[in-house]
Amino acid sequence: MAGDGRLVVISNRVAVPKARGAAGAQGGLAGALNAALKDRGGIWFGWSGEETEIPSETIHLDRTDGVTTATIDLSAQEVEEYYNGYANSTLWPLFHYRIDLAEFEKRTGQVYERVNERFAEGVSPLIDAEDLVWVHDYHLIPLGERLRARGLKNRLGFFLHIPWPPTRLLTSLPFHERLVNSMLTYDLIGFQTEEWLSSFLHYCENELGAEVDAQSGRVTFEGRTTTARAYPIGIDWDHFQAQGQTDDARRAQKRLLASTRHRTAMIGVDRLDYSKGLPERIDGIGRFFDEHPERARDLVFIQIAPPSREDVESYQQIRALLEQKCGQINGARSEVDIVPIRYVNRGYSHAELFGFFRAAKIGLVTPLRDGMNLVAKEYVAAQDPQDPGVLILSDFAGAARQLEADGTGALLVNPHSPDAMASAIATALDMPLEERQARYQAMIGTVRDDNVQAWTAEFCKQLASD
């Protein structure tokens, strides 16, 4: 029975403490997978984060915190062309609707396929016949096909953590049919929301000519059938609440409250990434201060944004733009005792983030496009039920579908509109306590119950049973 086997998780990065960057601003994916593997046992395979002079065949096996990890190193050229190149300069921007930033280089596409082949070569000897194999994210779309080519008969699942683009956008990618065709070798394909799922089914039907049953998510093409479904990811509720009980969390909360005194703290926490809508967010805040200059005394905005993917040029540009925009507003609006925007370029622990979220009476989460966005859920999870803050959330985050609660939960905004953001900030600042409590109650059930453990269990159950 496939369901009795171990779980083999394969993702680009493996968040063992030794892997570069894993201990700092851990992304949503790393947190989710750690929780899944601790729960079920098994192996986590991926890139070590190390670069070597030439490709090396060595596999590093380790057992950390109850999880066995197996990692390979990549050569500097592979990192540049597979990771910085095809994954983060082609697929990431295109899948986040930023065709203007997407680079289409045949060479990086070839190295992307070669690295997927290296992953297949490294991991296949570690997989037992009964294991469930679960591949994660856009770095490894063709991996299922590479594993099948090696004779693997296991149940193979794939989860896409980022959005799936509309068909006409995807067709701008050279060799798009080849990429999607390789994806159909998985038995189960998961998306964050119904919207991305339906774009995927639309592509399969209209571009590939596959037979699609939208009701069941079954896609039949060239004699193979795969199932595609939506599995919205959640946070590790128990872990996050436990972090909230620590001294670090309490200290962080006090520190923020003490430093903002009688003003309302509004917070944003994001990886520094153009998909997160940071310059647009600052424009919205600028518009709010333009319309209500006197309220610079009421509101302080804290943006925590640790740099990411610094080797990619578009990420260097977004950083410079953000610094410039924050500087302009602070230059125009500061007094000797007031600085309206605090821009912090570093990561914090989940305990500290919990404390900051709890101290902030407005959470501003306004990505231009986001697969899910776990920060939105963490912000809600950290609130005091008696005196909760207000979540302002982009309509284009996957999380909006769960947290809008038919207009009774998060305040939804169009992140491209400074006016919409300014008006939502004004509404949140003046929102009466009863309404804040009611909105919090409309969101907290899904944040608590649709957590990462439920997500993992649901995906694995489906993968084992189909």
Residue 348, H or E segment: none
3-class SS letters over 155-194:
CEEEECCCCCCCHHHHCCCCCHHHHHHHHCCCCEEEECCH
How many binding residues for ligand ADQ (CB under 6 A)?
A: 25
If one asks whether residue 306 binds ligand ADQ (CB under 6 A), the answer comes out as: yes
Residue 99, H or E segment: none
Distance of CA 68 to the CA centre of its chain: 24
If one asks whether residue 373 binds ligand ADQ (CB under 6 A), the answer comes out as: yes
If one asks whether residue 353 binds ligand ADQ (CB under 6 A), the answer comes out as: yes
If one asks whether residue 10 binds ligand ADQ (CB under 6 A), the answer comes out as: no
Residue with tokens 């991926």: 46
Q: Tokens for 18?
A: 């030794």
Q: Provide the minimum distance between the beta carbon of 93 and ligand ADQ in the complex, in angstroms, as a whole number.
A: 13
Q: Which range binds ligand ADQ by CB under 6 A, 126-134, 277-285, 345-353, 429-437?
A: 345-353
Choice from 31, 109, 144, 232 touching ligand ADQ (CB under 6 A): 31
Q: Which range binds ligand ADQ by CB under 6 A, 314-322, 323-331, 373-381, 406-414?
A: 373-381
Choice from 73, 370, 404, 450 touching ligand ADQ (CB under 6 A): 370
Choice from 249, 304, 368, 380 touching ligand ADQ (CB under 6 A): 304
Q: Collapse the DSSP code of 8 into the 3-class scheme (helix H, G, I; strand E, B; otherwise coil) and give the result.
A: strand
Q: Which range binds ligand ADQ by CB under 6 A, 20-28, 49-57, 118-126, 422-430?
A: 20-28
- Tell me which amino acid residue 117 is: E
Residue with tokens 């209209």: 206
- Per-residue DSSP letters for 10-58? EEEE---TTSTTTTSS--HHHHHHHHHHHHH-EEEEEEEEEEESS----
Choice from 113, 248, 378, 404 touching ligand ADQ (CB under 6 A): 378
Closest residue by Cα to residue 236 from 458, 24, 448, 398 = 448
Q: Provide the minimum distance between the beta carbon of 151 and ligand ADQ in the complex, in angstroms, as a whole number.
A: 31
If one asks whether residue 140 binds ligand ADQ (CB under 6 A), the answer comes out as: no
Torsion angle in degrees (nearest 10) through CA of 181, 184, 190, 195: 50
* Cβ-based neighbours of 77, under 8 Å, separated by 6 or more: 111
Q: How far apart are CA 446 and CA 34, in angstroms?
A: 21
Q: Provide the minimum distance between the beta carbon of 161 and ligand ADQ in the complex, in angstroms, as a whole number.
A: 4
Q: Tokens for 128?
A: 């037992």
Which residues within the stretch 80-119 sit at the binding site for ligand ADQ (CB under 6 A)?
Answer: none
Active site residues: 161, 370
Q: How far apart are CA 93 and CA 90, in angstroms?
A: 6
| Interaction mask 149-168, ligand ADQ, x per CB under 6 A | ------------xx------
Q: How far apart are CA 224 and CA 389, in angstroms?
A: 49
| Interaction mask 210-239, ligand ADQ, x per CB under 6 A | -----------------------x------
Q: Which CB sits closer to ligand ADQ, 162 or 464?
A: 162
**55 with 74: CB under 8 angstroms?**
yes
If one asks whether residue 374 binds ligand ADQ (CB under 6 A), the answer comes out as: yes
Q: Do β-strands 156-159 and 188-191 pair in parallel, antiparallel, or remain unpaired?
A: parallel
Q: Which CB sits closer to ligand ADQ, 13 or 118?
A: 13
If one asks whether residue 404 binds ligand ADQ (CB under 6 A), the answer comes out as: no
If one asks whether residue 55 binds ligand ADQ (CB under 6 A), the answer comes out as: no
Integer CA distances (angstroms), 23 to 30, 183, 242, in order: 10, 31, 18
Q: Tokens for 303?
A: 């943006």
Integer CA distances (angstroms), 439 to 185, 354, 390, 391, 443, in order: 42, 19, 8, 9, 7
Q: Which CB sits closer to ligand ADQ, 33 or 421?
A: 33
Q: Provide the minimum distance between the beta carbon of 134 and ligand ADQ in the complex, in angstroms, as a whole number.
A: 13
CA 66, 37, 350, 319 torsion-angle sign: positive
Residue with tokens 């260097």: 316
Q: Tokens for 163?
A: 């959005």
Choice from 49, 371, 409, 418 touching ligand ADQ (CB under 6 A): 371
Q: Provide the minimum distance between the beta carbon of 283 and ligand ADQ in the complex, in angstroms, as a whole number.
A: 21
Q: Provide the minimum distance between the beta carbon of 456 and ligand ADQ in the complex, in angstroms, as a whole number.
A: 12
If one asks whether residue 27 binds ligand ADQ (CB under 6 A), the answer comes out as: yes
| Interaction mask 242-281, ligand ADQ, x per CB under 6 A | ---------------------------xxx----------
In the complex, which residues of this chain contact ligand ADQ (CB under 6 A)?
25-29, 31-32, 161-162, 233, 269-271, 304, 306, 347-348, 353, 370-375, 378
